[in-house]
Amino acid sequence: MKLVYKLSLIVAAIATMTLVSCNKDDDKKAEEVIVPEYKAEAQKVTFNDATAPIVDGKKLKSVEFTASGLAIVTTEAKAAAAPMVRSGEDEDVKIYTYTIEGGVYVIKGFGKVEIKNATATVTTTNEASGKEETQTAGVEVAQGEQPASDELDIFCTWKIKRVIISAKGGQLDQNGVGKTFNSADLEVIGTFLKDNGVNLPDEIKGYSIKDITLTKNGSFIIRFLAKDSFYGDINFDIPAHAKVIDFAYDLHVEGNSIINAHAEGKITPDGESACNMLIKGNIKNGKDEYTTELEFDLVKVAKAE
């Protein structure tokens, strides 16, 4: 599986410095099986460009509904993208939560989407007038990559129980630095690394990862507590009987510092409700270059909040 990670913010550099792991507790005798609430309803709806709904002056391009209740809404780009939300040359992406009522997807803070055959009815509230608007458009519906077994079903939301990080290189001694954290607070992790000689930028204050989501249609989402979401894309290429899913990505971020990073990793399922995500990489900031590993201890979430 190849991962194209299109984050455009400095704090994403911390993510390249992680080795992620989800493990069962050694003394856990029976695994609690967690099933995503909307596993059967997870799908991506892509709107026909000619008939696509216009929402607050922007053309709606697609909506992806994840197994754990997140909605990825993609519209054509506006003049100035909202901070902390991925924006490409021709699209903006925002992350919402959704429920299903009477077969209709109800997206909190956005509107409703009802899908019948190859047609979607979208109901939203106009931001300027406050009036409800209903539009109908032709769509393509994609169910996405189907895992070979429940044990390999990583396409849901994961909460983070533990983070282990290590770094070598730069001005560090041969042993490098490393530590285990009980939360994914990037400010705390970044402060530890900087205090121990790792040359990192200053733009890593106030960010703590809430959860991580992978979808069958190739999306990758990192949500932050009290912050908007980072958003990235994954291109999946998963063998039918894969036991380990491999991925790689490159990252180039410009801000007060210029960060270049490359990482390779593995996602290894551990039963039906846990997984190991291992990322090894290198990151360069100015003249300093480091080899890094990051480990998250992850557990499935039935429904994202």
Find the range with the poorest average confidence among 7-11, 34-38, 55-59, 106-110.
7-11
Write down the pLDDT at residue 214.
84
Residue 228 and residue 289 share a domain: yes
Which DSSP letter does residue 146 get?
Answer: P
Residue 85 and residue 160 share a domain: no
Residue 135 and residue 216 share a domain: no
Selected residue with higher pLDDT from 14 and 212: 212
Residue 176 and residue 73 share a domain: no
What's the CA gap between 164 and 205, in Å, rounded?
19
For residue 38, is it within any domain? no
Domain span including residue 22 = 2-31+150-301
Q: How many domains does the chain have?
A: 2
The band of 41, judged by pLDDT with boundaries at 50, 70 and 90, is very high
Write down the pLDDT at residue 299.
92
Are 139 and 62 in contact by the 8 Å Cβ rule? The answer is no
Selected residue with higher pLDDT from 297 and 59: 59
For residue 104, is it within any domain? yes
Find the range with the poorest average confidence among 12-16, 89-93, 192-196, 260-264.
12-16
What confidence tens digit (pLDDT) does each residue in 84-130 have? 344 445 678 889 999 999 999 999 999 999 999 899 999 999 888 88
Domain end point (choices 142, 162, 190): 142
Question: Tokens representing 159?
Answer: 């909460």
Q: Report which of 143, 142, 145, 141 is spatially closest to residue 1, judged by C-alpha positions.
A: 145
Residue 159 and residue 136 share a domain: no
Are 61 and 85 in contact by the 8 Å Cβ rule? The answer is no
Q: Report which of 190, 162, 207, 158 is spatially closest to residue 292, judged by C-alpha positions.
A: 190
Selected residue with higher pLDDT from 29 and 183: 183
Residue 165 and residue 23 share a domain: yes
What percent of the chain lies above the pLDDT cut of 70? 70
| Across 10-25, average pLDDT | 44
Domain end point (choices 110, 142, 174): 142
Total Cβ atoms within 10 A of residue 244: 14
Report CA-CA distances (Å) from 265 to 7, 21, 76, 230.
17, 11, 32, 19
For residue 267, is it within any domain? yes
Residue 268 and residue 164 share a domain: yes
| Across 254-263, average pLDDT | 52
Residue 269 and residue 207 share a domain: yes
pLDDT tops 90 at residue 38: yes
Residue 178 and residue 231 share a domain: yes
| Across 271-278, average pLDDT | 82
What's the CA gap between 134 and 73, in Å, rounded?
17
What's the CA gap between 270 and 276, in Å, rounded?
7
What confidence tens digit (pLDDT) does each residue in 155-189 have? 899 999 888 999 999 889 989 999 999 988 888 88
